[in-house]
Chain A
């Protein structure tokens, strides 16, 4: 009899348990626009038009919600301490590449149930943007911005070297090396006067590696793959481009003087022939050098296919957030196509003689509407052609898979590539050493 009771109790418990998990998404409540309360947000400021216009729109839609912002990059020390103390903010905005490190340590709330309750369609976001937010089968964030890498070509330098835009071909390493020689200028004192082709190592190592069919870590984020032949060849080749203008130390000394954000930026000042750079730089050039003569060329993998690497930010809800429902409503609102369109219009209205080059939101629907409804070609070929390239390659992006040791992976491949650039180690030895460190970090992330 007691056995039957025990069995019955077990079945009842199982049923309750099942019901609990089933109802967990039903129990999640997403407040409507009459909601009131305070939303504490860390890692997000309203010091730019794109952020402020969206924030103002949210405040207008949710008039009884008070927003408290802590601007600047999310401070990991402060954030983890707050989570550990049980008093985290309601919502954080952080770099996507860092999210898995926190998610693997249970510092963030899985959001699948909240997204279901809020009817937030995650399929509208670009897959490369969603990938770093999906950790161990759960979704931990909503992406915003899809920042891709392209090559900026200084047309003046290209003409001077007697080269064509078609010579900027990252799939053909021999051709690229020839172009690097033609574009590079070194003074009689041995100091570079123009960098021919800047491979942007060690920052953009993953792009070169993926372009040569290699990987930094496996897709499941558990195995280091830095010592593969493809990776070694890619790093060895890209690092060698620096020899065309005096080597790494000469490059460092020269590049430390560049004014990336000003009128004397390296394109306008003829300090660079070709450089890989993030797409956001176009907006900067559009503001400070609207008459700059440049072209945008996509990076190409060795097989000739266009390729880029994407990063950006994401919204995430800390573990212990007291307002996860309202935070979800906020995330949904801020990444909604309507809000992005409004923000794009605010950007256009705020331009003072600059060029609007679009907003790349990581949301496919929002991007389409921005370019259908707001964007207008500037009649400046450099910018208009660039925008076409950006739109074309948004979905050709790769990104590092999420792992428990995201920061260490980046630091370890950076150190390894740096050793190659400084000629301290040959590429194969440096990559093997880096691979061991990455594997140790992935195996034992704690």
Chain B
């Protein structure tokens, strides 16, 4: 039963990973044979200022995106869990942005976030808040991208909604009998009971944030000459540039492995913390 999966994994995942590890020790432009250069690409990783900048941008984005994504998706799922009439409609409405093509999302948000005529700043203007330069001010470009990234939370909402439906109603009834307030019910029952799901989405959203690419590339890097310098240069965009614009496949392979190592470390740290905070039914 497993053999097709193992075959696919070896050919399409493990095999390319091993090849890319080997390529990271070479100078390779796809056309000409790879030339072994030892650890030069790896050494360059630690002296490339643009790589450092792209890492900073990516971590900044992940640090904002992940908590906001979890909090907002959970809030929406709780709302969905409360309503009975029109629940199907709202579920569809919340999910729709997730199936919008990333390129379309990028172009749409370039307009929504436009500092001069964008709907976001017009809304802020109604509240007498001066809207920032979401797409032009180096200090606001990344928060603007975070705002855009929260548009596609439908998947996470659906996952939370399913998890909330699994929480036994008896627990809430018992809590109410004991006089527990809604907040106490939320923190003492809901959160522990769906902590496994919260942990799963934490890991998935973190990996998603560290690999964020299409929307930002569409917004700011479609035309090479009109790019917004390095303020929106995320790690995977820089990797793409090194590989498919400059054809530095060896260096790009080293970059890919660095990102892989970062994701592994971050995930292991999250798994370590999860042992303290995640409740698994039936676990000892």
CA distance A254 to B114 in the complex (A): 9
- Is A220 close to B, CB under 8 A? no
Instruction: Assess whether A415 is in contact with B229, with CB atoms less than 8 Å apart.
Output: yes
A422 and B231 CA atoms in complex are apart in Å by 11
Instruction: Knowing A191-B116, A254-B116 are in contact, say whether A419-B27 is a contact too (CB < 8 A).
Output: no
- For residue B82, CB closer than 8 A to chain A, the reply is no
Check: B136 CB closer than 8 A to any chain A CB.
yes
Q: What residue of chain B has the Cβ atom nearest to residue A85's Cβ?
A: B30
When the two chains form the complex, which single residue of A80, A83, A253, A446 contacts B115, counting CB atoms closer than 8 Å?
A: A253
Partner of B30, one of A81, A253, A257, A424: A81
Asked whether A101 lies within 8 Å of B247 as measured between CB atoms, the reply is yes
Among the listed B29, B114, B226, B247, which residue makes an inter-chain contact with A253, where contact means beta carbons less than 8 Å apart? B114
- For chain B residues 131-172, which have a beta carbon within 8 Å of chain A? 133, 135-138
B interface: dominant SS:
loop
Contact yes or no, B114 A84, CB < 8 A: no
Mask, A60-86, CB within 8 Å of B = 1, is 000000000000000011001101100
Contact of A106 (CB < 8 Å), options: B28, B31, B117: B31
Bound complex: CA A418 to CA B246 (Å): 20
Given contacts A80-B247, A411-B224, A415-B230, contact A252 B31 (CB under 8 A): no
Residues 236-249 of A, flagged 1 when their CB comes within 8 A of B and 0 if not, give 00000000000011
Which residues of chain A are within 8 angstroms of B38 by Cβ–Cβ distance? none
Which of B135, B229, B230 touches A256 (beta carbons < 8 Å)?
Answer: B135
B residues near A405, Cβ cutoff 8 Å: 246
Q: Is B32 close to A, CB under 8 A?
A: yes
Q: Determine the chain B residues whose CB is within 8 A of the CB of A83 once the complex forms.
A: 30-31
Beta-carbon contacts under 8 Å, A279-328 to B = 319
> CB < 8 Å: which of B110, B133, B246 contacts A249?
B133
**Chain B: minimal CB distance from A128 (Å):** 19
Number of A-B contacts (CB under 8 A): 86
Cβ–Cβ contact A105 & B137, under 8 A: no
Tell me the minimal C-beta distance from A99 to chain B in angstroms: 14
Q: Which residues of chain A are within 8 angstroms of B136 by Cβ–Cβ distance?
A: 248-250, 252-253, 256
* Bound: A106/B245 CA distance, A: 16
Q: Which residues from 385 to 427 on chain A have a C-beta closer than 8 Å to any C-beta of chain B?
A: 405, 407-408, 410-411, 414-415, 418-419, 422, 424
B176 within 8 A of A: no
Which chain A residues border B230 with CB–CB below 8 Å? 415
Instruction: Report the separation of the CA atoms of residues A410 and B248 in the bound assembly, to the nearest whole angstrom.
Output: 16
Q: Are B229 and A77 in contact (CB under 8 A)?
A: no
Q: Does A203 have its Cβ within 8 Å of any Cβ on chain B?
A: yes
A257 in contact with B224 given A83-B31, A105-B29 (CB within 8 Å)? no
Name which residue of chain A comes closest to B245, CB basis. Answer: A407
A370, CB-defined interface residue at 8 Å: no
Please state if A418 and B229 are interface contacts (CB–CB under 8 Å): yes
A202 within 8 A of B: yes
- Which A-chain residue is minimally distant from B113 (CB atoms)? A256
**Interface size grouping (class) on chain A:** 35 or more
Q: Write the nearest CB–CB distance from B243 to chain A, whole angstroms.
A: 8
Give CA–CA (A319, B30) in the complex, Å.
13
A415, B225: Cα distance in complex, Å: 9
Tell me if B116 and A253 are in contact (CB < 8 A). yes
Task: Across the interface, name the chain A residue whose C-beta is closest to B110.
Answer: A256
Is A410's CB under 8 angstroms from B225's CB?
yes
**Does A55 sit within 8 A of B, measured CB to CB?**
no
Q: Contact: A407 with B224, CB < 8 Å?
A: yes
Q: Which of A77, A254, A414, A422 contacts B225 (CB 8 A)?
A: A414
B residues within 8 A CB of A92? none
Q: Which residue of B lies closest to A416 (CB)?
A: B229
Considering the chains assembled together, what is the distance between the CA atoms of A248 and B229 in angstroms?
A: 12
Bits for A157-190, please: 1 = Cβ < 8 Å to B, else 0: 0000000000000000000000000000000000
User: Given A84-B30, A407-B224, A410-B225, A446 and B245 touching (CB < 8 A)?
Assistant: no
Q: Which of B27, B135, B244 contacts A446 (CB 8 A)?
A: B27
- CB of B31 within 8 A of CB of A80, answer yes
Evaluate contact between B245 and A76: CB separation under 8 angstroms: yes
B135: A residues at CB distance < 8 A:
252-253, 256
Residues of B within 8 Å of A410, CB to CB, are 224-225
Tell me how far the C-beta of A117 lies from the nearest C-beta in chain B, rounded to whole angstroms.
25
**B16 interface residue (CB < 8 Å to A):** no
Complex CA–CA separation, A105 to B27 (angstroms): 12
Task: Please name all residues of chain A whose beta carbon is closer than 8 Å to the beta carbon of B30 when the two chains form the complex.
Answer: 80-81, 83-84, 105
**28 A-B pairs whose Cβ atoms sit less than 8 Å apart in the complex:** A76-B245, A77-B243, A80-B30, A80-B247, A84-B30, A84-B31, A105-B247, A106-B31, A106-B32, A107-B31, A203-B226, A249-B115, A250-B136, A252-B133, A252-B136, A253-B135, A253-B136, A257-B114, A257-B116, A405-B246, A411-B227, A415-B229, A418-B227, A419-B229, A424-B138, A446-B27, A446-B247, A446-B248
Q: A249-B136, A411-B227 are in contact. List 15 more A-B contacts (CB 8 A).
A: A76-B245, A84-B31, A105-B32, A105-B247, A106-B31, A106-B32, A252-B135, A252-B136, A253-B116, A253-B135, A407-B246, A408-B246, A410-B225, A414-B227, A446-B247
